[in-house]
Structure 1
Amino acid sequence: MKKIVLFKSVSEDYKKVFSDNNYEAVFVEPLQFEYMNLQELGEKLQTTNYDGIILTSPRAIEAVSKCWSPSKFVTWNTKRIYTVGEASSQKIKLLLGLEALGTTTGNAENLATLIANENSEKSNFLFPCGNLRSEILPNILKSKGITLDALTVYETKENENLRTNLMELNNTVNPCCMVFFSPSGCEYIYRQLQTFNNNLSVLPHFAIGNSTAHKIENLGVEIAGVATKPKAESLIESVQQYFKAMESCS
């Protein structure tokens, strides 16, 4: 069974989908996170001047959950909750008990377009985010007259075990390709790959989303495929298309 490296935390969904298609998923987490400004976040969640909240990452959802009280924040049941992807939607349901919109948008640009179409000008949204957030969504909404109250609630850092994990990957796993899930993860991984001789850099590189793909290309590496949606089924489809094309060329 071919092994595929997924640069993310362990996911049973990805593990099952790849196993069902005769691939073994190997997980390596390139990032670690530190939460911040949680007291301020809790205070903002208690205010009533927001039309909704936008949660575009698992860490933002987890930050909100650390301040969350269903009885205290009951007004959020009547507001709009937006996210990207089904996994995040399920996390919002599990941790916050709220139903999210935008789960099929797939990326920040599509989500911003949806929010702009569904809300009037001068709408006001709370936007808990990370220190390395993309400006795509804020810029689109700003151009549509929608206000975002952005609050940095977590900081993204390099996993302190990343270099060790990459060396072990290089020496023992022998994967057929690698999948990148975030621009910051790409940067940290390549910073470490430059510190030792490896076979990983020449493997086919796949990306979840265009922003991650662009980051890989900016590092001077060719992209083998991009998953159209942040879900395992889209990723395995991209991987299979690539290797099928390679077989037809050989």
Structure 2
Amino acid sequence: MKKVVLFKGVSEDYEKVFTDNDYEVVFVEPLQFSFINLDQLKEKLDQDLFDGLILTSPRAIEAVAKCWDPAKFVLWNTKRIYSVGHTSCQRISMLLGLEAIGGTSGNAQNLAKIIISENSKPHKFLFPCGSLRSETLPTMLSEADMTVDAITVYETKENENLRKDLMELNESAPTCMVFFSPSGCEYIYRQLQTFNNRLSVLPHFAIGNSTAHKIENLGLEIAGVATQPVPESVMESVKTYFATEGTVS
């Protein structure tokens, strides 16, 4: 049974998809997060100043949930809520009771295109985000004469246990690794340079293009990129690679 390393927090969905395909799964979280500016976020959520809400990460959704109360539903249920990926849309529904658009977008660029196509006149959106956010979405919306009020609601840092986790992983003979964020890639490879390891030569897979580009910028090759940020697509990219390798050999 092949062992795959997923550089993310433990996920039952990912574990089920990989184990159903005869892969052993190891989860390693390279990041840790701390919430900030929640008082400011709560104040903005209470005001009827925005045409919609953009939530592109699980932590942004959690930050809004920390400031949420049932009274806000009446205000925000009449506005458009945008997110990236089915999982995030489901989480918005579960935590906030709101229906989100963008489940099939896959990335910030595609989501921005959806927002622009659905809003023919200038709109103002609230965009709770992280300290390492990409500027792709705000830039595209700004160029389309839309206003984005970006508020940083969480900070991303390196997991304090990352080096120890990587050293233990180095002894466990995994077959491949899947990366889920550009910042995670950076922290992982910063630590891998501090000790002799066998991990750097393993096949590297990415959840999306931004993460893939970060891996390539680190001078590494990409074995596959998921077509959608969902477990099934990640699994398919891994299976396709090893099926091709088996044919070649």
What residue number does 1:197 align with? 196
Q: List per-residue Cα deviations over 1:209-228 (Å, max 9, x = no partner).
A: 10000000000000000001
Q: List per-residue Cα deviations over 1:223-243 (Å, max 9, x = no partner).
A: 000001110000011001100
How many aligned positions are there? 249
Letter in 2 for 1:80: R
Deviation at 1:174, TM superposition (A): 1.0
What residue number does 1:243 align with? 242
Q: List per-residue Cα deviations over 1:108-163 (Å, max 9, x = no partner).
A: 11000000000123200000000000011111111111110000000000000000
Q: Secondary structure at the match of 1:105?
A: coil
What residue number does 2:99 align with? 99
Letter in 2 for 1:218: N
What residue number does 1:89 align with? 89
Matched, 1:18 2:18: yes
1:107–1:142 CA distance, 2 compared to 1 (3 A): same
Letter in 1 for 2:227: T
Identity of aligned residues (%): 71
Normalising by the residue count of structure 1, what TM-score does the alignment of the two structures yield?
A: 0.98
Mapping 1:1-250, distance limit 5 Å: 1-171=1-171, 173-250=172-249
Deviation at 1:72, TM superposition (A): 3.7
Task: Quote the Cα distance in structure 2 between the aligned partners of 1:150 and 1:228.
Answer: 28
Normalising by the residue count of structure 2, what TM-score does the alignment of the two structures yield?
A: 0.99
Task: Quote the Cα distance in structure 2 between the aligned partners of 1:72 and 1:206.
Answer: 40
Task: Quote the Cα distance in structure 1 between the aligned partners of 2:63 and 2:151.
Answer: 11
What runs of 5+ residues in structure 2 fail to find an aligned partner?
none
Q: Secondary structure at the match of 1:125?
A: strand
User: Does the 8 A contact of 2:3 with 2:25 survive in 1?
Assistant: yes
Task: Quote the Cα distance in structure 2 between the aligned partners of 1:18 and 1:144.
Answer: 41
Task: Quote the Cα distance in structure 1 between the aligned partners of 2:71 and 2:43.
Answer: 15
* Ranges of 4+ aligned residues in structure 1 off by more than 3 Å: none
Deviation at 1:89, TM superposition (A): 0.8
User: Does the 8 A contact of 2:73 with 2:98 survive in 1?
Assistant: no
Task: Quote the Cα distance in structure 1 between the aligned partners of 2:70 and 2:157.
Answer: 31
Task: Quote the Cα distance in structure 2 between the aligned partners of 1:8 and 1:72.
Answer: 31
Q: Secondary structure at the match of 1:196?
A: coil
Letter in 2 for 1:155: E
Task: Quote the Cα distance in structure 1 between the aligned partners of 2:20 and 2:40.
Answer: 44
Deviation at 1:73, TM superposition (A): 4.2
Q: Secondary structure at the match of 1:154?
A: strand
User: Does the 8 A contact of 2:73 with 2:97 survive in 1?
Assistant: no
Task: Quote the Cα distance in structure 2 between the aligned partners of 1:142 and 1:92.
Answer: 25
What runs of 5+ residues in structure 1 fail to find an aligned partner?
none
Q: Secondary structure at the match of 1:121?
A: coil
Deviation at 1:74, TM superposition (A): 1.9
Letter in 2 for 1:187: E
Deviation at 1:9, TM superposition (A): 0.2
User: Does the 8 A contact of 2:83 with 2:111 survive in 1?
Assistant: yes
Task: Quote the Cα distance in structure 2 between the aligned partners of 1:55 and 1:130.
Answer: 10
